[in-house]
Structure formats: C-alpha cells, structure tokens
Amino acid sequence: MLIYIASAYTLGDTVENIRKACLAGDEILAKGHTPFVPHLSHLYHFISPKPWETWLKLDAEFLARCDALLRLEGISKGADLEVEMAKYLEMPIYYSLDEIPQV
C-alpha cells in the first residue's frame, strides 16, 4: 500500500514534526509498504514559499492517489482535513503504526 502520513507540521517544532513523520515512514517501509511523507515538501517551501492553501491542494492531490492514511497523534488542522478527505475517499485510516498490517 501507498500510505499517506497525516500529522502536525507547523504547530510546535516544525523540524521535530518532520522527524516524527519520517520515522513513521521508516516503520511503514519496514512493514513492506510505501510511505508518502508530505512533510518533505518543507525544502520545496523553503526554496519557493507558497500559501498554506496551495500546500493543502497539493497534498489533496497526493492523498487521492494513496491507498491508506496514517494519522499520527497531535493537533493539526491540516491533518484533520486530510482525515476527512480520506473518509470521503473511503480509504482505510490508521491511527497507530501497530494497526498497519505487515506484508
């Protein structure tokens, strides 16, 4: 499965948020799946800043191509919107890495 990681990005320590998402991606890889870590657009934004709404639109396009979503803990308006989109798309939503099956 291609699994989208939805979690905090801007609230709190951005670098730590990116780190947590990447570590979750490593665990998804270890389970035999492919992670999609939208937090990695941080470098793109650093080089070419875009409004928050632009990033949400891009993330929605990526999410629509994924097979499932992992929602990590933490407050995030953007991640909550991504969960709602995943529900609309009727894709599996995992709230823990332990819920993701091993391949």
97: buried, middle or exposed (CB in 10 Å: 19+, 13-18, 0-12)?
middle
Per-residue pLDDT tens over the stretch 58-77 = 999 999 999 999 999 999 99
Confidence of residue 87 (pLDDT cuts 50, 70, 90): very high
Q: How confident is the model over 11-52, as pLDDT tens digits?
A: 999 999 999 999 999 999 999 999 999 999 999 999 999 998
Query: Where would I find the H helices in the chain?
Result: 14-30, 42-47, 52-63, 77-88
**pLDDT given at position 52:** 87
Confirm if 5 and 72 have CB atoms less than 8 A apart: yes
**Which pTM value belongs to this model?**
0.94
CA distances to 14, 40, 55, 66, 81 from 45, in Å: 13, 9, 9, 22, 20
Taken in order of first residue, the domains within the chain and their CATH numbers are: 2-90 (3.40.50.10400)
DSSP at 12: S
